Amino acid sequence: MLDGEAFGQLFESFERSAFRLETLAVYDVEEEAEEMARFLAGEPMGPEWDDNPWVRSMTDKGKHVSRVHVLTSPLTDYLRYELAAYPGNITAGETIGILDEAEQDVTDLPDHDFWLFDDQDVYRMHYTPEGTFVGAELLPAHRLAEYQGYRDRALAEALPFADYWERHH
């Protein structure tokens, strides 16, 4: 199982594409605590929110970054924070879709997060019940087609973020 630092290095080493399926209503990310507090207080979020530098560091190299977030309305405070940041990710080049279980029947997708890198390496993400990252588990090669199918299904069924945001914001 890869810890945060080792897992983070994958974002520098992948060559073409990175896809994430997100499934949690709350992520407990220490580095986001101060920013989330500012968001909840209605304070300005700063220029990084307009064009996410982390995403830009990948897309400027021609890499494709995408995600689908499976969520349920009403949104948690964390999801309101995260979705408010998504327009800056999109400006930086990330493709984002939303599957809202309150509006769509979401079936045949896993109940856990994963990343698929370069269409060849799948990492199942592990979190505590409170949403703290525990580690990323490289799944065996024989599971690749299964997770490619999850990615394809999620992308096909997800509402583009802009459409979701317009409807709910």
How far apart CA 17 and CA 14 sit, in angstroms, is 7
Say which residue the tokens 């964390």 belong to.
Answer: 78
> In this structure, are residues 138 and 147 in contact, taking their beta carbons and an 8 Å threshold?
no
Q: What is the pLDDT along the chain (169 residues), one digit of tens a residue?
A: 999 899 999 999 999 999 999 999 999 999 899 999 999 999 988 888 899 999 999 999 999 999 999 999 899 999 999 999 999 999 999 999 999 999 988 889 999 999 999 999 999 999 999 999 999 999 999 999 999 999 999 999 999 999 999 998 7
Q: Write down all domains in the chain, each with its CATH number in brackets.
A: 4-168 (3.30.870.10)
